Amino acid sequence: MTNNNSAWNSRRRLARIRCLFESIRCFSEGKPLPECLCYIPAEVEYQTQHRSVVKLYQDVQKSSKKVGEIVLTSESRLVVSGEEYCNSQGKWLKVRKFKSCPSSDYVTYDSDAWVLQYSSKSATDDPALQIIPCNSLNKNRKRSDSWEDAVEQHFAGQFLTRRVQLADCDKSAMSRLMEIPAGWTLEGDEELVRLMSQHIPPDNDHLGSIKSFVESVDVSSCCDDEAGPSCLTDADPDTYWESDGSQGNHWILLKMKKGTVILKLQLTLDGSDDNYLPARVTVQGGEQENLSVLRSLAIDWEVKDVEDVTILENMTEHYPIIMILIKECKAGGIDTRIRGIKISSSEGRYLGFDRDFFKGENLVRYPKLEPYPPDQLYRRSLLLQRLMVILDSVLPYIVPAWEYSIGSYNSLELVRQLLPLSKKRLNLIETFIKESSSERPAEIPKLFINRRAAMEHRCNVTQDSDFRNTIFMQIYEGLKPRDRTAKPLNYRWTSRYEQWWECKFMSEGVIDQGGGFRDSLSDLAEELCPMAADKPLPLPFFIRAPNQLRDDSNVNKDVYIPNPAFKEFAKYEWVGQLMGACLRGKENLILAFPSFVWKRLAGETVSWSRNFNTVDAAEVTLIDNMEAIDKEKFLILGRTWSTVLSDGTAVLMKVDDKGNPLDLMYEDRKEYCDKVRKIRMAESDEQLEAIRKGLLKVVPQAVLDLMTWQELEHRVSGDPEITMDDLKRSIRYDDVEETDTRVKYMWEALKSFSNEDRSRFLRFVTGRRRLPAPVHISSGKGDSVDCLPESSTCANTLYLPNYTSAKTAEEKLRYASYNCMDMDADVNPWDE
């Protein structure tokens, strides 16, 4: 029987992997996702164990007309539509039929009749309807209404069909779920995931495997920080929570997620803990101020092994609070030790995404989603969440924790930007980082840094042609092993080591207790990618991207790229190692790279039009339009078979006998454009490979494979805060006064902006994402009121119209910050 179960589970797992890869193929080809992934049962039968009176509504609003009531008892059966409806009020079920007891006939509801199963309010304000799908309580079920069973049966064949029979499906509802919105592409899914991932409640790191069912865990006391409540949920039997209180007064409090109905609650205990073992336990449940005893039990300890002891099972209703009281310990022990908590549940649903979520202000930052109605976005979000459930269930087998250093997992590359919805990915990443860590050297290196010499170099970079006085070179040389037996730093230590070297700043009298180290890292980053755009570069490793040098409206005017002409790859490799150390730890190395560079470092696929425009937007527009230009306009250009790299180096593709580039003929323009794209996108290949090589010396390949480029940038360079004080210091007023009403409204709007909003605002006005950047405020063009603001990134100027309220100013400024840049980018230079 064991072998049969093992084979059955393997078939199920294989079916899910097949579904995942088939879904990825569908994304690639722009086809609807597999039909079985969209399975919706025609009907679902519910039951309850408690008598309750349920109101029926004509519509999915509690303010709508009430069309009746039904009385539910333990013998009642409520049959509803399999298609759920979630809005801002909660989860609704459409009633199909009802019978009060087994012997009675079903009452059929032909007109609309809705019941509210879960409210979006707290359980205290609006208790959930205590009904449970009948199938969830039937361990020997022969019939299923689960979409996961539908996936497994479709991709595993007849082997699983004999186990369970699928309920009839709702073809109409499935068609709606499968439908691809008009004009929708993978970019739409990526934008949708970005929206959703910003609103998913952060996982509580202390909740481990029970986080799907529990909002928080609290305990009566802890003997120390190493034996706190996180040990109850870390799935490690070698760790434990140990109380520190008076005898018989120890407790664990679980705040349950809405809708969670406990099928089994277990404590993990170790017989070797002797008199720390609980001997008598009472479990209570209910509201915080009204708990009732659910079970009391005595635990008889004869064995010495680790085992799970069930203290509660087969509950039929949701309890907002579960309190576990340790009344007695073995042999009169005073304190207790518990090594884990495990929960299985029949129902647990996060109600964060509903139809009302996908409209209004939530979409302002996501212009690609705005044209689509909430219903379409909601259904697409459901499908993406289902796909992530499939991914999470097989992710440890696709990217096994014991093989984190082997190869690249390119099978997930196409859907890399969908991975933020995965619930298991981040834990797997942290496992890889933990398993690949090493001990830091017993003594950290001590460096002597001359910041005065580095400052003098910045003022006149020509005096130090080998840039040895820079902070970068002083640290780089100072960290080299001093003898043959010494080993270089590998930077693979854990995040608890917050200082990688100790700094002694010459002639400054600073004692480095971490602050000096962080200062040196900040100085090093400033040398690599200076925030000031008008100063010479202290180091040759990175150059200002063409976008930073042009007087146009592009929004990537603060970015740097690896210098194609600089060939000291060992130093690039060391930069990659520092980036890997930041990823593993808590420090940041602020590197102003465009998304094209971050995507290359993360191993993501890059494209000319979508990504290289963050390096050289003018060249991308020029080349893309050259293919469609008419011959008359083309001849005006007078192009040759040559192009210029970002560092100014000319590349000749076809030359005459004298070595001069040949003139480009109109009929050859497509070949020319293809060659230019290839050359420009590969101009920094060697340098990027060196940085990535250093990064992979510190971080396992699998970590980068599971991260998006945005996450890599955040882990390495952080999320630089744009404070109100810093922003005010950057503002200059041209023809308006600081006391002007429109200016006051602007500051009220910026005060309510998130850091990302402020960064977008800064990019809208100056083309730069981070301060410092000069910002000039001028009056709006014309006399219009409540219109969108305009900007000139060439002049770093915001043209601010008059607004009737601070709220209107906030809405217009935010919309322009996220949308108006795209409009500027769409201007065709050939039409000028």
Contact criterion met (CB below 8 Å) for 292 and 25:
no
* Residue from 169, 459, 794, 820 carrying the catalytic annotation: 794
End-to-end CA distance of the chain: 76
Decide: helix, strand or coil at residue 697: helix
User: How far apart are the C-alpha atoms of 28 and 18, rounded to whole Å?
Assistant: 15
* Residue 579: both structure tokens together: 């980036």
282 CB neighbour count, 10 Å cutoff: 16
Closest CA relative to residue 388, chosen from 37, 10, 714, 32: 37
* Residue 453: both structure tokens together: 């010499």
Chain centroid offset of residue 121 CA: 26
User: How far apart are the C-alpha atoms of 181 and 324, rounded to whole Å?
Assistant: 49
Decide: helix, strand or coil at residue 525: helix
448 CB-side CA count, 13 A: 2
Chain centroid offset of residue 628 CA: 38
Contact criterion met (CB below 8 Å) for 768 and 794:
no
Q: Which helix (H) or strand (E) holds 791?
A: strand 790-792
**E runs forming strands in 316-406:** 321-329, 337-338, 340-347
Q: At what angle do helices 374-398 and 425-435 cross, to 10 degrees?
A: 30
794 noted as active-site residue:
yes
Contact criterion met (CB below 8 Å) for 237 and 339:
yes
Burial 127-139 (b: 16+ CB within 10 A, else e): bbbbbbbbbbeee
Decide: helix, strand or coil at residue 563: coil
Bridge partners, residue 250, by sequence: 326
Pairing state between β 790-792 and 66-72: unpaired
Contact criterion met (CB below 8 Å) for 740 and 697:
no
Q: What letter would DSSP give residue 641? A: S
Cα Rg of the chain (Å, integer): 31
Residue 285 burial by CB count (10 A; 0-12/13-18/19+): exposed, middle or buried? Answer: buried
Residue 828 burial by CB count (10 A; 0-12/13-18/19+): exposed, middle or buried? Answer: exposed
Residues with a catalytic annotation lie at: 794
